[in-house]
Amino acid sequence: MPKGIMIRTIALAAAGIATGLLLTFAIVTTTSRPAMANADIAKKTGQPCAKCHSAPPALNAYGKKYKGGQKK
């Protein structure tokens, strides 16, 4: 393979990889959501996160009562 063609092939491959990485970064940063759990509540109450959450950020029955102000 002539040197000029090889250099162009490598340059195109590098450009393709860079484009793919840029698109991946753009998708991840624009579609991610902030975490909803608040570790301060666990620290304040001394309870583990699992006390209120079955599968974070979803609340279990106890977590829903706590959030509604009906603490036990």
What are the residue boundaries of the structural domains of the chain, listed by start? Answer: 1-32, 36-72
**pTM, full prediction:** 0.42
Using 50, 70 and 90 to split pLDDT, how confident is the model at 9?
Answer: very high
* Rounded Cα–Cα distance for residues 39 and 56 (Å): 12
Half-sphere exposure of 50 (CA within 13 A, CB side): 0
pLDDT digits (tens, 9 = 90+) for 33-55: 665 656 788 888 899 988 998 88
- DSSP 8-state assignment for residue 54: E
Strand locations in 1-72, DSSP E? 53-55, 58-59
Q: Which of 10-19, 48-57, 58-67 has the highest mean pLDDT?
A: 10-19
Cβ atoms of 40 and 49 closer than 8 Å: no
Residue 41: both structure tokens together: 């509540």
